[in-house]
Amino acid sequence: MNIGISRESRPLLPAALALVLLGASLVYLTWRNLESQRALIDNHIRLSAKGTLRGIQTSLTRAIMRARPDSPEAARALVGDYFKEMTSIHEVALLALYDETGRNIVFSSPQGVPAFDLPPDIVERLETDGEWFVTQAYADQKLLLYFTQAHPDLEPDARGPFFPLPPPFPPGMPPFPGPPPMPGSSLFPAKPTLPNLPSFQAPSMPPPPFFAFPGHFIPRPRPFILLGLNLEDYEGPYFDVRRAAILQAGYVLAVAAFSLVLVVAATRRREQGRRLTQLESFHSRLLDHMPDGLVTLDATGRITAFNPAAQELLAQMTGRASGDIMGAAWADIVESAQPGQPPLSTGPSDDAWRLLEHGGLSLELRGVPVGPAPETGPQNTPEKLILLRDRTRIRRLERDLAEATKLAAIGRLAAGVAHEIRNPLSSLRGFAQFFASKLKGREPEETYALTMVHEADRLNRVVADLLFLSRPRQLSPEPVDLPTFARDLAQILRFDIEHKHAAISTDFSVATIVADLDALKQALINLILNSLAALPETGGTITLESAAPAPGRVTLTVADNGCGIEPEDLQKVLEPFHTTKKHGSGLGLAIVHKIMRDHGGSLSISSAPGQGTRVELTFPDDAEPGAQNLEQTNA
């Protein structure tokens, strides 16, 4: 039974999409930020490498100029010592010097990286681009290798003593002649001849550019120098920034996800609260409007709750108000309604319906445990629900059906034998009347003959009553004026009333009733004759009353102050052939009951020994019972 609208998935989709978009945007922005930081750090590292190598070359050039090594080996040892001193710094991890062919000359690395020569492709790139950066891992360290051409002061002719100094001019070519002399004097004063300095010392005058004297000056290639820069100090801040950015993005995503979870949980809780409210309202309306009664008992068997239907049924059964029912023991209520009957057990095995009848009310009871199966002992008795069903109308219909079935059997018997009985009965009555006339004045023959006539008439009435019970009858309801109807009845039964010295009184609160006139007259005659038979010899009174106990219902009552009916006979008065009179047939009240069923009404008899009898006939005020009651009679 679904009483709510499932909306739980509706807020989840936009919230999930929002979280995905937020996460994607945050990841993209973080990635772009890290890329920018990486580019800035790479640019800073390259600038640092260039500046560091430039400073190293400048310091090395000055050191060579001060030391003035006299041989290539001395110069190589000087450069090697300087490289070792530089690589002792944590930032500088590798220094190497290569000739123009890429052959290693000096190599220094405290991490034990073996010396290597430059491949031809790297030499070609360096000759073309002048520098080259590459990142390489050595000895669990990440290094930036910066290759570039060496400083001009380290070249031959100012490169140092590492290379053999080829002649600046091709063989057979005269040396550079210099400027022509000026007449009478020199353009430059005479200078002493320079000593034979090492080849790394710069000449007093730089050589002329090679393009000034094509074919006379050959440019010499420059060596290459390599710097290995330790990236730990440079990339450490970047990794910290990256870690912080990732943590920040993760924190933002976690906060967003947590917020989403809170929003979804709050939305779901609100939805569940709304559905719970609807469910409670539905259950409340269901319990308030269900036709069956529902009573809740606690572990001690006392009433803790009941719905309006149960309140009405218990009030009719016990006569208690709702305040007296709440908290009362269920066993006391059952005992007061039907003494001697055990109450419903509070165990889980009592799952059968049980009938309880009291004061014309028929109830079916059933106990349903609502807790787990209890252990033995009164303290472990679970709570229980008591279901109450009003079966009064159904029981009445069952009794009517049983009675109709019995009357139908009697009717079939009467219809079968009526013809066979009436014809001989007419002959017997005719001969009895003949003998009565012939034997008039002769006793006891005349008395016997008259008795035969009276008994034949009585038997004929019994057969007629049986045929009336067995034959369906189409009624024609019409408004009947009760005062006029009562006067007609008194006139019809005038001799019987005078014979009993009785009186008939009327009290009609409702002056008109809708009924079939002939059927109503037959029913009232039978009831009045029964009342006359129960009245005392003097002082007997029969009262005809009418009232409207409920909208659409009119009650016509016949009451007397006769001897009343014994309780054991009261349950059988509507059965055919049951009578307490000496000369009665036992079909009068059965006929009245059939007439009331044909009208769609009901018959109620209340009596006590010595307190008279009260018969109430309840008619529908505006019913048209003809076709419907004909069908009921046939059933």
Q: What is the 3-state secondary structure (H, E, C) of 138-199?
A: ECCEEEEEEEEECCHHHECCCECCCCCCCCCCCCCCCCCCCCCCECCECCCCCCCCCCCCCC
Q: Is the peptide bond before 424 cis (omega within 30 degrees of 0)?
A: no
As a whole number of angstroms, the distance between CA 499 and CA 631 comes to: 41
3-state secondary structure of 392: helix
Q: How many other C-beta atoms are found inside a 10 Å radius of the C-beta of residue 534?
A: 21
Helices (H), 199-231: none
3-state secondary structure of 203: coil
Residue 416 one-letter amino acid: G
CB contact set of 294 (below 8 Å; sequence gap of 6+): 287, 306, 307, 309, 310, 385, 386, 387, 388
As a whole number of angstroms, the distance between CA 358 and CA 355 comes to: 10
**Pairing mode, if any, of strands 384-390 and 293-297?**
antiparallel
pLDDT confidence of residue 179: 41
Is-contact 64 78, C-beta < 8 A?
A: yes
Is-contact 237 38, C-beta < 8 A?
A: no
pLDDT confidence of residue 376: 45
The H or E element containing residue 541 is strand 541-550
As a whole number of angstroms, the distance between CA 617 and CA 627 comes to: 20
As a whole number of angstroms, the distance between CA 317 and CA 310 comes to: 10
pLDDT confidence of residue 544: 92
pLDDT confidence of residue 250: 85
As a whole number of angstroms, the distance between CA 439 and CA 553 comes to: 57
> Taking Cα atoms as reference points, which of 304, 293, 324 lies closest to residue 386?
293
CB contact set of 329 (below 8 Å; sequence gap of 6+): 300, 301, 302, 303
pLDDT confidence of residue 221: 64
Residues lower than pLDDT 70 in the chain: 1-12, 139, 152-221, 337-351, 359, 371-382, 407, 410-411, 414-419, 422, 465-473, 582-585, 622-635
pLDDT confidence of residue 558: 92
Is-contact 68 201, C-beta < 8 A?
A: yes
3-state secondary structure of 270: helix
3-state secondary structure of 105: strand
Q: Which residues are paired to 365 by β-bridges?
A: 354, 388
Is-contact 558 541, C-beta < 8 A?
A: no
pLDDT confidence of residue 204: 42
Helix axes 308-318, 330-337, angle to 10 degrees: 50
Token pair belonging to 385: 């629900």
pLDDT confidence of residue 182: 39
pLDDT confidence of residue 617: 92
pLDDT confidence of residue 604: 87
As a whole number of angstroms, the distance between CA 512 and CA 525 comes to: 18
As a whole number of angstroms, the distance between CA 367 and CA 361 comes to: 19
CB contact set of 400 (below 8 Å; sequence gap of 6+): 597
As a whole number of angstroms, the distance between CA 580 and CA 176 comes to: 173
As a whole number of angstroms, the distance between CA 237 and CA 216 comes to: 55
C-alpha dihedral sign at 173, 179, 182, 186: negative
Is-contact 79 161, C-beta < 8 A?
A: no
3-state secondary structure of 102: coil
